[in-house]
Amino acid sequence: MKVLSLFSGIGAFDLGLERAGMTTVAFAEIDPFCRRVLARHWPEVPCYDDVRTLTADRLRADGIAVDVIAGGFPCQDISRAGTGSGLDGERSGLWREFARLIRELRPRYALVENVSAIVDGALGTVLRDLSECGYDAEWSLVSACSVGAPHMRQRMFIVAYPDGEHGREGIRHTASQSQRALQAIDCLARSRAGWRTRLEDPSALYGGADGVAFGMDRNRAIGNALVPQIPELIGRAIMERAA
């Protein structure tokens, strides 16, 4: 399956989906540092610099066809530590560009990620928008520590597909064949990664926590990323269903 990656960051979502057997065919990322990271690891994949100017016509003109649209749209206005503006905010309001591209491209699947605080109100709007696009959806909160990461990082994941194409039990069932059901995987929802599991050497994660060039950019990019294991799990369930 060919993936259009939106709000790509450093490509963690895409790494997980590619581990599941999908192929990234285009990125959309505005941050210059993240664009350099993507260019290093996916040098042949085009990267568009602004989701607001990306259209189905432009992708077709560039010879790009997609089966999946995936991405985590900005969370700053949704996060409990953020502005509180929700989807009316300048950054989190970019969800509407995500929804626009779903309407224009009609992918087989749309995979959406955001912070757990989306349940405070914005989730209903996102699901309504997907429904108005003609898509059914499944969703679940999943923590990074549930898939072996040494930190909590609970995030909402939404899997959407055209109305009537799959019974909801289908995606959950295929996920549970190799692991646990997506909706049940976060059995540690109230837990925290213990201090014993934290990295003794931060440089092992950050690639240098010693004030080297781009240190702040690197830390910010990692902080905005997600663990690839979760999209890999979702991607494998989709690939098994589509086989």
CATH number of the domain bearing residue 193: 3.40.50.150
Closest CA to 144 of 162, 135, 157, 133: 157
Active site residues: 75
Question: How many domains in the chain?
Answer: 1
Express each pLDDT in 85-136 by its tens digit. 889 999 999 999 999 999 999 999 999 999 999 998 899 999 999 999 999 9
Structure tokens that stand for 222 in this block: 């990692």
Report how far residue 232's alpha carbon sits from residue 17's, in angstroms, rounded to the nearest whole number: 5
Helix (H) or strand (E) holding 241: helix 229-242
Q: Could you tell me the CA-to-CA distances from 74 to 34, 89, 97 in Å, in that order?
A: 14, 10, 11
Express each pLDDT in 19-48 by its tens digit. 999 999 999 999 999 999 999 999 999 999
SS (H, E, C) 132-161: HCCEEEEEEEEEHHHHCCCCCCEEEEEEEE
Express each pLDDT in 193-224 by its tens digit. 443 444 455 555 545 545 555 555 665 656 56
pLDDT of residue 167: 52
Neighbours of 32 (CB within 10 A): 9
What is the domain range of residue 176? 2-242
pLDDT of residue 71: 97
